[in-house]
Amino acid sequence: MATSFALYGLYVTMGSCNNTTLDNKNLSLKEVPSPGGALPYFGHLFKIPSSLPALKFDEWHRQYGPLIRVKMGVEQWIVIGERRIANDILKAKGAVTSGRPYHLFLSQYHTLQQRGPVFTQPDKRWKKNRTAAQTILGTKGVDQNMYIIESEAARITKMLLEGSANNGNINITKYMQLAPLNVILRTCFGKSVTSIDDPLFLAIVETIDATVKWGAPRQDMGSFLPAFSKIFELFMGTEEHMQHYTYEVRNPLFRRLIQEAVKNDTPCFAKVMHRLKEEDEFEEDDIIVFMSDMVNAGTDPTAVTLMWAFVILSHYPNVQKKICDEVDEFITMHNRLPHYSERENFPYLISVQKECMRYRSAKHLAIPQKATQDFEYQGYIISEGAVILPNTYTLCGSTEFYDSPEEFIPERYINDLSSFSESVNASIDVRDQYTFGWGRRMCPGVHLVDVEFFNIWVHIFAASIIEPKLDKDGKFKYVDLNRCNDLGILVAPENPYLRFVKRPDCLI
């Protein structure tokens, strides 16, 4: 403890010197507004709940404005609650705001010392990983694997119907993970899992859940309070768990998947990466992290977004009826299910998808970015090293941009047939989706998500309707849309038990 307080005193002294230098250099600039009640050294840490912190940030946005400075121990967080500001800072100024803040698990263990396309600094190695990811996730790569996406949509629809029929109701969590995971597995490794009980499925989901959990900001208190980092580790042993998971669980699993993929005869991206390794483009650890990132980013964000959508729609049978009618009209005319290239025939389905993503976002907070040098924004100084965090929860509930944002109104998007890719790249005056990130850090898999959503939705609504589970008296027991589980990086509905019931008027 004596050592900790000595380090604290040294930090305060050095921090005061640094602030004086900054103030002398930028006398004409002002600090971003900050909520009151911050404690010395600890800042606002004790005011922010460990679960769902975006709700507290949203409260502060209403009090202090759309741009606020939150003191997270020694770190300065710039939290953004307005889309134009997010666009200005993260896209227009992307050259100096695309860094990643240090996080013990993500920066050191998950990335095996700064490897991979997601959680690393925007350097040459990151660009090389990003280019490789685009090979899989770009329009050409997705189009080449369209048959995989369509077949997995058909498979998951059948499993949801059978699971509901056999058990009365099902927790949809693992079902929603299985479909997008199989798309990634077949693309990257040339294999798939057969059910939610498949040992390979369970092993991979364990690594996904661990990454989502360990990647949460609250799992790295040592970065916020470095003077106490050794004390945290002494009592919590967090780093020991991270190390065990990475080197004893995650790495061996992905090394085996890569080796099996390289040896078998099925074309897959692991073979491409292996060839690049032989050409000295990548090392073995690069490939492990790359494949892990593909599986993580390609599975849970999609799964949680689908979970929210189907839980929401279980409350709105009239909305489901309109979707089913739209799908049936196409089937009647063409005697088959539609392909993604024919999505313009489904304006209502698309509008419902977008409203579900706005109404209950799978990400309350975007993945943090970092300022790599001092810069000025509208008279405010944002210092080098500041963590920049768009508050997706606040953006999706903006009363400035949305009429009655607290209400579920699919028709608000009825005239917007833009794809997710078009939406996130549109001018800020019309952009209406925020879960895919900003600027140089925008999710490269946005087109894959769009294609997966469309195919899963048309397959499900062509064959079924979604209902809540039944209680002991046979009455609907609806999932509470105001209760959720903070998974770390993502926010999921609580107890998502539903019934997928075969449509009696099904046309296929």
Q: Which of 401, 407, 480, 483 is nearest to 434 (CA)?
A: 401
Query: For residue 40, with 0-12 CB atoms within 10 Å meaning exposed, 13-18 middle and 19 or more buried, which class applies?
Result: exposed
* Dihedral (CA of 296, 298, 303, 308) sign: positive
- What CA–CA distance (Å, rounded) separates 189 from 200? 13
Say if residue 443 carries a ligand binding annotation.
Answer: yes
Extract the runs of DSSP E, i.e. beta strands, from 152-202.
170-171
Q: Which of 485, 453, 445 is nearest to 179 (CA)?
A: 453
Q: According to the 3-state scheme, what is the secondary structure of 398-464?
A: CCCCCCCCCCCCHHHHCCCCCCHHHHHCCCCCCCCCCCCCCHHHCCCCHHHHHHHHHHHHHHHHHHE
- What CA–CA distance (Å, rounded) separates 358 from 317? 19
Query: Nearest 5°: phi and psi at 418?
Result: -60, 145
| Residue recorded with tokens 């889309």 | 83
DSSP structural state of residue 51:
S
Q: Which of 72, 66, 81 is nearest to 48 (CA)?
A: 72
410, 326 contact by CB (below 8 A):
no
- What CA–CA distance (Å, rounded) separates 419 from 432? 11
Question: Beta-carbon neighbour count of residue 59 at 10 Å?
Answer: 12
Q: According to the 3-state scheme, what is the secondary structure of 334-373?
A: HCCCCCHHHHHHCHHHHHHHHHHHHHCCCCCCCCCEECCC
Buried b (16+ CB within 10 A) or exposed e, 182-214: bbbbbbbbbbbbeebeeebbeebbebbebbbbb
Please report, in range form, the residues annotated as the binding site for heme: 443
Please report, in range form, the residues annotated as the binding site: 443
